[in-house]
């Protein structure tokens, strides 16, 4: 399935370890704002949840527990910096089911979505799409970030740090 991003700004980070992947998540967390939608794509075991965990913990400012939402489909975090909703649509069958999960209600905050492919054409507007592919080493990942206009400036800034 193809996810369409308008006027794409895109760059790829070569993360050589989980620690580097986590650092990317933390840097991104500092740039994110309520209303942002971040889609995390990649195969099982590629580090999507680990990325989301580092992102949420960075926003929380403390090492809060961030369990995998595969079973519950969504975990919401009411943080001092605002609401984060962490969706995992791995088990989802029908795009329309996502709305039963309260995807609508989550729009005021930051939304992280694993397995966004399950939404079909229903991916929320103007997402940042982050794709995880294998890197040169076992723990390495090639992480590509693609965003529309609202992300261009922030991605340019992020690029300077990697």
Partner 1 sequence: MRIVLGIESSCDETAAAVVTEDRRILANIVLSQLEDHRAYGGVVPEIAARAHLDHIERVVRDAMSTAGLGFADLAGVAATTGPGLIGGVIVGATVAKSLAMVHDKPFIAINHLEGHALTCRLTDAVPFPFLLLLVSGGHSQFLSVAGVGAYTRLGGTLDDAVGEAFDKTAKMLGLGFPGGPAVEQAALSGDATRFALPRPLLGRPGADLSLSGLKTAVRLAAEKLPAPVSGQDLSDLAASFQAAVGDVLADRLKNALTVFRAAHPSGRHVVIAGGVAANKALRARLQSVVITQGLALIAPPLQLCTDNGAMIAWAGLERLALGESHGLDHPCRPRWPLDEAA
Out of 43, 122, 125, 157, which residue is the one contacting partner 1 (CB under 8 A)?
43
Distance between CA atoms of residues 49 and 53, nearest Å: 6
Radius of gyration of the chain (CA): 15
41 near partner 1, judged by CB under 8 A: no
Q: Which stretch binds partner 1 (CB under 8 A): 8-16, 23-31, 32-40, 71-79?
A: 71-79
Q: Are strands 37-41 and 128-134 parallel, antiparallel or unpaired?
A: parallel
Out of 20, 25, 47, 86, which residue is the one contacting partner 1 (CB under 8 A)?
47
Written as six digits, the tokens of 94 are 């029908």
Distance between CA atoms of residues 82 and 138, nearest Å: 35
* Residue 110 three-state SS: strand
50 near partner 1, judged by CB under 8 A: yes
65 near partner 1, judged by CB under 8 A: yes
Q: Which stretch binds partner 1 (CB under 8 A): 34-42, 61-69, 106-114, 124-132?
A: 61-69
93 near partner 1, judged by CB under 8 A: yes
Q: Where are the beta strands (DSSP E) in the chain?
A: 9-15, 37-41, 74-79, 82-88, 110-114, 128-134, 141-147
Pick 91 or 159: Cβ nearer partner 1: 91
Contacts with partner 1, residue ranges (CB under 8 A): 43-47, 49-50, 53, 65-68, 70-73, 75-76, 90-93, 97, 100-102, 138
């Amino acid at each position: 399935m193809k996810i369409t991003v308008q006027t794409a700004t895109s760059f790829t980070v070569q993360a050589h370890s989980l620690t580097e992947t986590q650092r990317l998540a933390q840097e991104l967390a500092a740039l994110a704002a309520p209303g942002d939608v971040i889609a995390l794509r990649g195969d099982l075991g590629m580090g999507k949840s680990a990325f989301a965990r580092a992102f949420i913990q960075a926003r929380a400012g403390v090492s809060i527990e961030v369990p995998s939402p595969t079973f519950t489909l969504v975990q919401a975090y009411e943080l001092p910096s605002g609401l984060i909703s962490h969706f995992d649509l791995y088990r989802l069958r029908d795009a329309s089911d996502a709305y039963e999960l309260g995807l609508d209600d989550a729009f005021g905050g930051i939304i992280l979505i694993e397995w966004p492919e399950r939404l079909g054409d229903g991916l929320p507007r103007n997402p940042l799409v982050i794709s995880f592919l294998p890197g040169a080493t076992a723990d390495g990942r090639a992480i590509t970030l693609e965003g529309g206009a609202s992300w261009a400036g922030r991605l340019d800034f992020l690029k300077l740090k990697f």
